[in-house]
Amino acid sequence: MRLTKRVAFLIGIGALPLFFVDRAPGLAVLVVVFDFLIVAATLADFFSSPNPNKVLKIVRKTDDKLALGASNLVTIEVRSTAGIPLNLTILDEPPDEFTAVNTEHSLSVPAENRPVSVSYHVTPNAKGDYSFGDLYVKYSGVMGLIERVGKFDIGASVKVYPNLLETEKYDLLARRGRLQQVGIRSARLRGGGSEFESMREYVPGDEYKKIDWNATAKRGKLITRQYEVERSQNIVLMIDTGRNMLQKVENMSKLDYVVNTALMLAYVAVSSDDKVGLVAFDAEVQAYIPPNKGRAQVYKILEKLYNLKAGLVESDYREAFQYLATRWRRRSLVIIFSDLVDPETSAHLLDAIPILEERHRVVCVTVGDPNIHAAARGTEIGAHMIHEKAVAINVLHERKQAINAMKRKGVWTVDSPPADLSADLINHYLELKARSMI
């Protein structure tokens, strides 16, 4: 129970006669009587107000599996057996790792035991297992002198998984032919396969062995045969979980961004009939799933990724690449999700790349930080801002040096901010597949 401001106001009013008690001593008795009446009214208000823990039934409804980095709905349902309408204020306690909007609500609960609901949204900023806390309720007594307060132990465990909601959006847009809305360009899968698709006029850069000389003689100009890309190819997602992936960008760690992106690419790849596998590593290999087809493979990868954490350790690229080389020998597109901080710290990755390049096509994916780019473009004047801009420019310069060193090694790179990372990587994958470069 809490006393309201109304009680303090009444006590203050009742104390005013004390200023005149030297002129009229009888006023002191009046003040005592008035205060007694306030106490009596307060107690009456308390005992006439129902106990929230006895008359309220509260249920929190949310999925037991929430999507990382997405807006997830939480609904609070309230019923009352008090027999009178109640005007409540409720306050929920989502996990501290979630970004939540409007966790405090006011609502009117009818007397006839009819459910009333309020909703809000939470955005998890990290994968793993979490728990909602208690829920608190308060409402004023009939006379407004006290507040009844209730605490409801309705804590619930939830699991935060990489975001599968984007795969549903991808499916919907793909069926409608509107993938451009999320930045994904369409790519016809033509290239170096074995199944003939069509003929077209020769353009510079076409392989001479694909020229159809009979068609060329008939038409009087060079004609090239086009072949469909062989559908089933191998994709291996190699995810670095070392200390470089702990850095936060826009409320989420770089690891969590690449996990969402990797899962999205896996979904697109199996939809294209490719095989997808996984290697997660830091100082040692944390998880390995050999490439396989089908959406069941995506869910198998999901189960490995949902509780994957970055650690304060240096990643051993050579050990991880050698691990894959000894367990998977078929030519594949190997996509390394890591971070290229500067040439020096990226040297270990560069030195280990040849282990994979002997057999595989290698792509390195990194998450750019929009805040650093914004700081580098800053125009504000001031010693602090100038220093911040200089540091940001230096960070971007060293990052560019590391990426250029990777390109000189013949490694394709995708370095994009979080908002564009999935679309840019999927476009790169589709381009490689269309050009038969996997």
Full residue range of the structural domain in which residue 123 is found: 52-161
| Residue 248 to residue 341: CA distance in whole angstroms | 14
254 & 350 share domain: yes
Query: CA torsion 250→256→262→266, rounded to 10°?
Result: -120
Of the ranges 185-199, 311-325, 377-391, the best mean pLDDT one: 311-325
Q: Which residue has the higher pLDDT, 418 or 195?
A: 418
356 & 396 share domain: yes
pLDDT at 187 over 60: no
Give me the sign of the Cα torsion angle 115, 118, 121, 124.
Answer: negative
pLDDT for 191: 44
**How many distinct helices (H) and strands (E) make up the chain?**
13, 23
pLDDT at 190 over 50: no
| Residue 431 to residue 438: CA distance in whole angstroms | 10
pLDDT for 384: 67
277 & 396 share domain: yes
326 & 277 share domain: yes
| Residue 32 to residue 15: CA distance in whole angstroms | 9
DSSP 11-65: HHHHHGGGGGTTT-THHHHHHHHHHHHHHHHHHHHHHHSPPHHHHEEEEEE--SE
Chain segment 394-438, per-residue pLDDT in tens: 888 888 888 888 888 888 899 999 988 988 899 889 888 877 777
pLDDT for 188: 46
The sheet that has 234-240: what strands, in order across it?
Answer: 285-292, 275-281, 234-240, 333-337, 361-367, 412-416
Q: What is the Cα 49 distance to its own chain's centre?
A: 44
**SS3 (DSSP) at 161:** strand
> Domain of 423: which CATH number?
3.40.50.410
| Residue 345 to residue 407: CA distance in whole angstroms | 16
408 & 308 share domain: yes
235, two tokens:
């994709």
| Residue 184 to residue 3: CA distance in whole angstroms | 60
| Residue 52 to residue 68: CA distance in whole angstroms | 35
259 touches 127 (CB < 8 A): yes
Share of the chain above pLDDT 70, in %: 87
79 touches 114 (CB < 8 A): yes
pLDDT for 347: 84
276 & 208 share domain: no
| Residue 436 to residue 233: CA distance in whole angstroms | 10
pLDDT for 181: 58
11 & 117 share domain: no
349 & 223 share domain: no
- How many structural domains are present in the chain? 4
C-beta atoms surrounding 312 within 10 Å: 8
Chain segment 116-165, per-residue pLDDT in tens: 999 999 999 988 899 999 999 998 887 888 888 999 999 889 999 988 76
Chain segment 235-286, per-residue pLDDT in tens: 999 999 999 899 888 888 999 999 999 998 998 899 888 999 999 999 999 9
pLDDT for 352: 92
206 to 186, 189, 222: CA distances (angstroms)? 21, 16, 11
Give the residue from 62, 64, 57 showing the smallest Cα distance to 116: 57
User: Where is the domain boundary, 141, 161, 181?
Assistant: 161
Q: Which residue has the higher pLDDT, 144 or 184?
A: 144
154 & 173 share domain: no
Query: Could you tell me whether strands 412-416 and 361-367 are parallel, antiparallel, or unpaired per DSSP bridges?
Result: parallel
Average pLDDT for the chain: 84
422 to 251, 258, 325, 402, 428: CA distances (angstroms)? 18, 9, 26, 22, 10
Query: For tokens 């996509």, what's the residue?
Result: 335
User: Where is the domain boundary, 201, 228, 255?
Assistant: 228
26 & 111 share domain: no
Average pLDDT estimate for 296-305: 92
Chain segment 302-360, per-residue pLDDT in tens: 999 988 899 999 999 999 999 999 999 999 999 999 988 767 767 888 889 999 988 89
> Domain of 56: which CATH number?
2.60.40.10
Orientation angle between helical segments 295-305 and 254-271, nearest 10 degrees? 170
| Residue 362 to residue 334: CA distance in whole angstroms | 5
Query: Could you tell me whether strands 116-124 and 98-101 are parallel, antiparallel, or unpaired per DSSP bridges?
Result: antiparallel
pLDDT at 300 over 50: yes
242, two tokens:
């070392």
265 touches 235 (CB < 8 A): yes
Share of the chain above pLDDT 90, in %: 38
pLDDT at 4 over 80: no
**SS3 (DSSP) at 108:** strand
306 & 185 share domain: yes
Binning pLDDT at 50, 70 and 90, where does residue 60 land?
very high
pLDDT for 380: 66
69 & 178 share domain: no
User: Where is the domain boundary, 146, 161, 176?
Assistant: 161
Q: Which residue has the higher pLDDT, 335 or 219?
A: 335
